[in-house]
Structure 1
């Protein structure tokens, strides 16, 4: 693995772990992301649904550039990028700059990493 690829994989790992952290926070304290004083049962339910998907995808997206290359690895990272794009749209609809910019940057990092690992 070249030095540039190591840096890119590390950056991808960081954005993946940050995303995973937010998924864990959503499960543990849903009000931290929704800014509601008392989360409803439905809000807690959807936070857990988000987390049960977000944590494994975040961990997989973190690990894949270090352990494999090729089209399947690229597909994992493109999937993560699509998820981040969805999160950015949700943040934009809520008019929350951090919930928009953070996922957008993470999505771009995932796409660039996907292009790098796609080539054998």
Structure 2
């Protein structure tokens, strides 16, 4: 008999992503790390760099917040039947501009993969941040 892997429901996945966006919005690296599985992977195609494990993920996110500040807005979306969100960051002009599209893989134990896209071709249908 084959084992069946349990996948969180859509509402459970969205709850994980909502908590992730809340921690991201407050530049809470430790809060982000608590939402990740121990073996989490972050990739940023087409770049060849990637980060493995929640500690390395946290180091990278600390750099993201240091470089981009802590003023973010988000637009929840979906991509490839997975939960995702568009992250908008306040630019020097004062306007919020699209920073990334992030597609997350959510398991019962947390977020196990983050695929981050920084290309305009990956923009959500509405590239305007929520108010």
- TM-score, length basis structure 1: 0.33
Q: Which has the higher contact order (CA 8 A, sep 6+)?
A: 1
User: Counting strand residues as a fraction of each chain, which structure ranks higher?
Assistant: 2
Between Structure 1 and Structure 2, which shows a larger proportion of helix residues?
A: 1
